[in-house]
Structure 1
Amino acid sequence: MRDEYYGRLLVQRYQLLEIAGKGSMGQVYQAKDTLLGGVIVAVKFLSRSKINQRVRDRFMREATISALLGEKSIHIVKVRDYGVDDEEMPFYVMEFLKGESLKEAMQNKPMPLPKFFSFMRQICLGLQCAHDGIEIDGNVTQVVHRDIKPSNIIIIKDATLGELVKVLDFGIALLKSDDSPTGFMGTPAYCSPEQMDGKTLDNRADIYSLGIMMFQMLTGELPLKPKASSFEGWFQSHHYQTPKSFSEVKARLDLPPALMDIVNQCMAKTAVQRPSSVTEVLNVLTQIEQVPDRSAAFSNSLVSNEVRPAPQTNTIEAICLQSVWPKDKPRAEIVFPQLIEHQNTELATMWIMLSRSEIEKYRNNKPHAQFLFVGAPHPMLLWLTTLYQTEQQHRMLPCYLDLKKPIGEKTLQVLTQTGSYRLILFALEGDERCVCTIEGKVPLRKIQLLKEWSLESQNSPATHGQIKESKRSLKEELESLKPKLVASLQRQISKKNLN
């Protein structure tokens, strides 16, 4: 049976279609934006039974917080409009996200580690944005979500990222400028002890909820089991019950000890015992993820619920060393991107031909990645890798990616997903075989930028006649950047030497 509001036109613009979701505070409709060619959006209404001035104010604040955060991070749902209908009922308009919630994706069973790390990285980036704060009336104010749980995380298919994860529902979010207790609000199964007490909260309340959710993602079970599924039951569990250990869960898991440690730290009963920021959590997860082949070992162990040995390491190195210089490329000092298949995934690589003396000079050095982007007139990315010894001895390797070509688009996607790359080096004086490889990492702050540029490029038109103009702009920006980049690298090297 169709909803009574089906086909209703809001403010002469949004035509309501079917109900997309319901909650305690109201409901969300799928709608057409008739002003913009019928693009599908989501419209959230307040429930008539809940309406009063306090709820109206909170609803408008939810829209404002989401709008400001959505502009800062691709991992938070974007709000596009706010208004009231002809019956004075407030509503706001969001991007329509067709996907599944994290609750649906988990299916009450352990999640493979590669997927866990990918989802958690994106969730942490969204939360990090909220905790860093938004500017209201000239002041930056931190935002505590207060309702982090699987049903408030949505996963949507994305052509560039594969799966894009977004944090939803800032309906009970707390602005840290509100420094007085507000009473209990939240979902009891995921709330911190101090939140159950109705105390003043900071970002560590969200970190506790994150810990509960991580345990559930890794095991398929909640870490706490109250005697009764009531507020009092959960209150007692969060305050006094010791969370399950990973060894107590039904599935036999082969998890890195460091991963279990960070999850347990997040679930500490007192806020001071938890990580101080979601950035700290993200950094630890990134370090764990980069340990070779742990993720694959965990995925294999889930097949039969038995712990299996990790596969042989260094397979990436072995595959890269088998690379042969393409016959259609000149033997010259050139640089170009290439994707290499590895264990059903792809690795972003930069193929480089240099003199043998230069290769020997830099082969043991850590590369430094820098990225520049122009979205118009044609979306292009400059992937700049610098090999550095001293201010006088460094080599910059610029690689231009046309983001409207499959190789450019896919290379950017792999860089954002893996956060790593390989330099494949060939000698001018040698044969066609690879001489050596050098592993590089993309810093987390740059991964976020790459994701935003990737989405922007998808929405930009392809103007192939303007490729040279975009490339020229990038070259000019690179020339102005070079002195600053060399000085920055010199400071980093000096600081490491002092330590």
Structure 2
Amino acid sequence: MTEDRNEGRLLANRYRIIELVGKGAMGQVYRAEDTVLGGLTVAIKFVAQAVLNEKRRTRFEQEATICALLGEKSIHIVQVRDYGLDEYDVPFYAMEFLQGKGLNDLIKHRPLSLKRFLRLTRQICLGLQCAHQGIFFKGELCPIIHRDIKPSNILIVQDSTLGEMVKILDFGIAKLIQTGGDQTHSFQGTLAYCSPEQMEGKELDNRSNIYSLGVMMYEMITGEMPILPENNSFGAWYQAHRYYSPEPFRDDLNLPSSLQDLIYQCLAKKREQRPQGMDEVLEAFTSIEEEIEKSKSASDGLTTNSLDYASTYPTQTATGNDEHYYLNAAWPPDKPRQKIVFPRLINSAHGAFPSLWVMLDKEDIEKRLLSTRYNQFLFIMSPHPMVLWITALHNTECGTRWLPCYLDLKTSSGQRTARSLGELGYYRILFFALESADTCQHVLTSTIAGPQRQKLHDWAQSSQTWESHASPQMSKQLLRREFENIKPKIQFKLESLGTDAPSNVSGL
């Protein structure tokens, strides 16, 4: 491993650099101690020397200025405390050191509850409102437009007074709007969250941020993206943002219609049809909160799609005879007793065994025991490495029961499960009845074809070094779309096979 020469260095005769905590194409962030202020922990950001030129130096200084001035006005924007040049003439700035969790991590596996969504989104709006109101720069009041609003730029920290507190990060490509300035620029931002006008390189105002906020709000409350392109190219994303209508909200979320309307309004293609300022969004939130309070319907436990549980659950441990253990397995206390399916690794003295845990009506389970068992695995590398694990049980009496679930290959559990499936070539299906969920009712085994096993191994291997470019939910949606496309083909194959005797089929 290459030694980091910055670690242990005393910067500007004041900041003792401790360790690297973040790195990107445009710079690095270190944890450091402010020796002048008694060892106060700060974050030091350097511009990457590989991209350092006069234009980048000016932008970096502007970023420091924007954050310093905005941080004085709003607690929801990261505070910058110092700016300078090191002995090699490389610019840096010192800011408050924040320990928290990115919004992208909070919503990675399930959406926010309505109560938490409202609380955090209001804080995001307050921070953006402050930026839109502007700062005095060179004697002029200049509005600030953040051009990269997305979950990974929202940090949630713990505050002794407020509890969860939002901090908006990365004003590195923010637009400082000055009178008479040229506002047209080449595209900068993150494709999934950009307004149509931003992708066109047009003049931006606060309504572009409102569109990005609308995309993010939809994702926060549903766990999914409001629109999806045909592929991950710039052109496909532009077509999606400019012409595709947002996906309808699922009925099972039970969201107030006023909240749905607000999010749809923020996602309007034409900016004059969106809320015209963050104050309008905040006023709408106040009305929504009052509506919820009056109807007594506020809830902190919205449910997600029952078949979309992520593969991040703790493993069980088997002892003695594995088959005996399966039949005595108890339904996990952290899972709702409803019709769902999720993956789980079971550890035994002989190794780790992949399994699917399924809850159905008892009568449905009995009908499925004599079924053709089908499995197939779909994979997507970009924007986030994800496997859709498809299991289907088919018989002529009651048709096909689909049991899809996901393996996130950027998680250790997803990696282990994919590798185990590839190595073993089979998995167990554990059935639990809604009427008596205490113990497993039946166990089936489904085998995996050789080519599929090799693919699982290859996908797990290649995903280790692949960098995720978007939230896991986006890949789930793309895989779900592909699943719907191939369902008729799978159905036709299952019906052509018949079910006079139970059999196992893998792949198309």
- Counterpart of 2:260 in 1: which secondary structure? helix
- Aligned partners of 2:116 and 2:300 also within 8 Å: no
**Alignment partner, residue 234 of structure 2:** 231
**Alignment partner, residue 91 of structure 1:** 92
Q: CA deviation at 1:235?
A: 1.2
- Counterpart of 1:302 in 2: which secondary structure? coil
In 2, Cα distance between equivalents of 1:276 and 1:144: 14
**Alignment partner, residue 16 of structure 1:** 17
| CA displacement, residues 7-33 of structure 1 (integer Å, 9 cap, x when unaligned) | 111111111111111222111101111
Q: CA deviation at 1:303?
A: 7.8
- Aligned partners of 1:73 and 1:129 also within 8 Å: yes
- Aligned partners of 1:26 and 1:44 also within 8 Å: yes
In 2, Cα distance between equivalents of 1:217 and 1:81: 34
Letter in 2 for 1:200: E
Letter in 2 for 1:16: I
In 2, Cα distance between equivalents of 1:73 and 1:252: 36
**Alignment partner, residue 290 of structure 1:** 290
In 2, Cα distance between equivalents of 1:166 and 1:146: 16
1:30-41 to 2 correspondence within 5 Å?
30-41=31-42
Q: CA deviation at 1:122?
A: 0.6
Letter in 1 for 2:188: M
1:94-493 to 2 correspondence within 5 Å?
94-177=95-178, 178-247=181-250, 252-293=252-293, 297-302=298-303
Equivalenced residue count is 303
In 1, Cα distance between equivalents of 2:296 and 2:130: 27
Q: CA deviation at 1:65?
A: 0.5
Q: CA deviation at 1:295?
A: 7.9
| CA displacement, residues 65-88 of structure 1 (integer Å, 9 cap, x when unaligned) | 110000001111100000111111
**Alignment partner, residue 409 of structure 2:** none
| CA displacement, residues 266-312 of structure 1 (integer Å, 9 cap, x when unaligned) | 00111111000011001101210122456855434428969xxxxxx
Aligned pair in 2 of structure 1 residues 231, 158: CA closer, same or farther (>3 Å)?
A: same
**Alignment partner, residue 454 of structure 2:** none
In 2, Cα distance between equivalents of 1:295 and 1:171: 42
Aligned pair in 2 of structure 1 residues 255, 295: CA closer, same or farther (>3 Å)?
A: farther
In 2, Cα distance between equivalents of 1:63 and 1:300: 40
In 2, Cα distance between equivalents of 1:296 and 1:105: 23
In 2, Cα distance between equivalents of 1:182 and 1:301: 41
- Counterpart of 1:127 in 2: which secondary structure? helix
In 2, Cα distance between equivalents of 1:43 and 1:296: 45
Aligned pair in 2 of structure 1 residues 216, 292: CA closer, same or farther (>3 Å)?
A: closer
Which stretch of structure 1 is more off in the superposition, 292-301 or 84-93? 292-301
Aligned pair in 2 of structure 1 residues 195, 239: CA closer, same or farther (>3 Å)?
A: same
Q: CA deviation at 1:180?
A: 2.7
Q: CA deviation at 1:182?
A: 1.1
- Aligned partners of 1:18 and 1:30 also within 8 Å: yes
Aligned pair in 2 of structure 1 residues 219, 11: CA closer, same or farther (>3 Å)?
A: same
**Alignment partner, residue 42 of structure 1:** 43
Letter in 2 for 1:140: L
- Counterpart of 1:252 in 2: which secondary structure? helix
The structure in which a higher percent of residues are helix is 1
In 2, Cα distance between equivalents of 1:301 and 1:115: 11
Q: CA deviation at 1:60?
A: 0.4
Letter in 1 for 2:51: K
**Alignment partner, residue 382 of structure 2:** none
In 1, Cα distance between equivalents of 2:214 and 2:165: 21
Letter in 1 for 2:269: K
- Aligned partners of 1:114 and 1:296 also within 8 Å: no
Q: CA deviation at 1:243?
A: 1.4
Q: CA deviation at 1:138?
A: 2.0
- Aligned partners of 1:224 and 1:237 also within 8 Å: yes
Structure 1 unaligned runs (5+)? Answer: 307-499
How does the TM-score come out when normalised to structure 2?
A: 0.58
Letter in 2 for 1:142: P
- Counterpart of 1:57 in 2: which secondary structure? helix
Aligned pair in 2 of structure 1 residues 96, 300: CA closer, same or farther (>3 Å)?
A: closer
- Counterpart of 2:93 in 1: which secondary structure? strand
| CA displacement, residues 385-436 of structure 1 (integer Å, 9 cap, x when unaligned) | xxxxxxxxxxxxxxxxxxxxxxxxxxxxxxxxxxxxxxxxxxxxxxxxxxxx
Aligned pair in 2 of structure 1 residues 229, 304: CA closer, same or farther (>3 Å)?
A: closer
**Alignment partner, residue 430 of structure 2:** none
- Aligned partners of 1:33 and 1:40 also within 8 Å: yes
**Alignment partner, residue 27 of structure 1:** 28
- Aligned partners of 1:108 and 1:221 also within 8 Å: no
| CA displacement, residues 17-52 of structure 1 (integer Å, 9 cap, x when unaligned) | 111112221111011111111110000011111110
**Alignment partner, residue 361 of structure 1:** none
Q: CA deviation at 1:241?
A: 1.4
- Aligned partners of 2:195 and 2:208 also within 8 Å: yes
Root-mean-square deviation (Å): 1.8
Letter in 2 for 1:236: Q
Aligned pair in 2 of structure 1 residues 131, 301: CA closer, same or farther (>3 Å)?
A: closer
In 2, Cα distance between equivalents of 1:298 and 1:121: 17
| CA displacement, residues 121-148 of structure 1 (integer Å, 9 cap, x when unaligned) | 1111100000001111222111111111
Letter in 2 for 1:191: C
**Alignment partner, residue 5 of structure 1:** 6
Aligned pair in 2 of structure 1 residues 209, 304: CA closer, same or farther (>3 Å)?
A: closer
Letter in 1 for 2:207: R
In 2, Cα distance between equivalents of 1:303 and 1:198: 37
Letter in 1 for 2:255: L
- Aligned partners of 1:109 and 1:221 also within 8 Å: no
| CA displacement, residues 430-450 of structure 1 (integer Å, 9 cap, x when unaligned) | xxxxxxxxxxxxxxxxxxxxx
- Counterpart of 1:225 in 2: which secondary structure? coil
**Alignment partner, residue 82 of structure 1:** 83
Letter in 2 for 1:116: F
In 2, Cα distance between equivalents of 1:295 and 1:91: 50
